[in-house]
Amino acid sequence: MSPSGPYPWSSSGGGRAASAPAVQERPQPQRTPESFKGRVVIVTGGATGLGRAVALEFAQSGCGVAFNYVEMPGREVGPQAVMTEAAIKACGVPCYSALCDVREMELVEHFVGEVRSHLGGVHYLVNNAGVTHDGALWRLTPEAWSEVIDTNLTGTFNYARAVMPEMLRRDAAQTKIAGIAPVIEAVQERYRKELAEILGNVSPYATISEIEIRVNPEDAPTDVLLEVFQSYFVDQPHQFSVSLYHYILHRLGAQKDASALNYCIEQLYIRPQETQQGLDYISAIDGYCAAYPLIERFLISEDSIYDYQKYQIFRWLNSSPIAPSTGLLTLARQLTFDMARPGYLRAVCRRVLQDYGTIADIDRLEQSYGDGRNDFERAQILVSLKGMEPGRRNGFYGRAAEDGLLCSRAVRLVRQGRL
């Protein structure tokens, strides 16, 4: 692969000219005039990081894209592959993605066959998949050595062997292969600059692997997250992917983006099993003020029928920095003293009265002590009375401390200020 012209430091005689400086600026990648429209590229390991950036660069140039990926512990590669595929298709080009271990020749051949079937052929190959086990050679285990060799070398061989015969039969194959270089260089340059803005100070010649030691390459850009969220959830509400939904909420929450708040509120009505994920997201974006009136409206509506969902919401409200409204206090009061409700729900509602209730609520909690179903519930009631007038409370505690081990411990912990 050769550039279209000599580099600034090269000379026609093959050595550096005497007048040329020893160090010059890195040459800027130049886009080739070749059109990628109607062509197909395979990018191995294209779901995340640099591979994803390369795949999107081709897609934006009109090239169909196929990429493979493997699941890795703690990396959530599968959901990210879905997002990458959606982002590629949003560029108006076809895309095919699938699980495929580059180390396995049979899997590679099957993947390439599926690419030909879905996309019509293969014009370019970017062997991006790779692993590193940095460190001193004598500390490298045989297993780690084999993983590096099998992935970085054998994997490259497997894909090249599977696609090269077809690629080399095409016209101007050499031009096409050389034409990939500017795309890769452009992606590397942009990726380096974006990460440099995050890190503040990175050598312009640092390798991507050196940078990714300091920056998590799986932090998906917000615009991509929102594109996938719109496409897979807002536009297609009947096709609900639980794992993808959890992943997007987690990422948007980490980036303090509130775009999914109203959607999470809607799920309280139609998917109560997703309540906790939505509440965690609202907490992550500090969306208490915006969500509070909407959640209250749901709780007092006829759609709020599940006790466990009520429990999840009241437990979340107890951890929020906002005091409950009169309406929520009234509901908490009703649930606390409704003996037909499960104990866990009455316990979290009792906590609301403990922190925000009136004197009448405290009196009623005291009266309910004798109705406690077991020692554990009676101990909870004792804790809820800690805001009672001290003299009256101590007298009541003195009698209750004889009602069992849990009640005795509850009294002691309140008196010690540990509850």
Give me the pLDDT at residue 27, please.
41
Query: Does residue 38 come out as left (phi exceeding 0), alpha (psi in the -120 to 50 range) or beta?
Result: left
Among 256, 288, 317, residue at a domain's last position:
317
- Domain that includes residue 151, residue range: 40-212
Judge if 260 and 183 occupy the same domain. Answer: no
- Whether 317 shows a pLDDT value over 80: the answer reads yes
pLDDT digits (tens, 9 = 90+) for 361-417: 999 999 988 888 888 888 889 988 888 888 888 888 888 888 888 888 888 888 888
Active centre residues (catalytic): 191
Count Cβ neighbours within 10 Å for each residue of 137-167 and write b for 16 or more, e otherwise: eeeeeeeeeeeeebbbebbbebbeebbeeeb
For 131, the token pair is 């692993």
pLDDT class for 134, splitting at 50, 70, 90?
Answer: low
229 and 206 part of one domain:
no
- Digit-coded pLDDT (tens) for 251-289: 889 889 999 999 999 999 999 999 999 999 999 999 999
Q: What is the DSSP string of 230-277?
A: IIIIIS-TTS--HHHHHHHHHHHHHTT--TTHHHHHHHHHH-GGGHHH
As for how many domains the chain has, the answer is: 2
Answer yes or no: is 99 within a domain.
yes
Q: Which residue has the higher pLDDT, 310 or 227?
A: 310
Percent pLDDT > 90 in the chain is: 37
Q: What is the pLDDT of residue 9?
A: 30
Name the least confident of 2-6, 119-123, 154-158, 372-376. Answer: 2-6
Q: Are residues 51 and 189 in the same domain?
A: yes
Q: Report the alpha-carbon distance of residue 248 to residue 172 in Å, rounded.
A: 43
- Looking at the fold, whether 252 and 198 belong to one and the same domain comes out as no
Mean pLDDT of 310-317: 95
> Among 2-11, 21-30, 75-84, 329-338, whose mean pLDDT is lowest?
2-11
The answer to whether position 389 is within a domain reads no
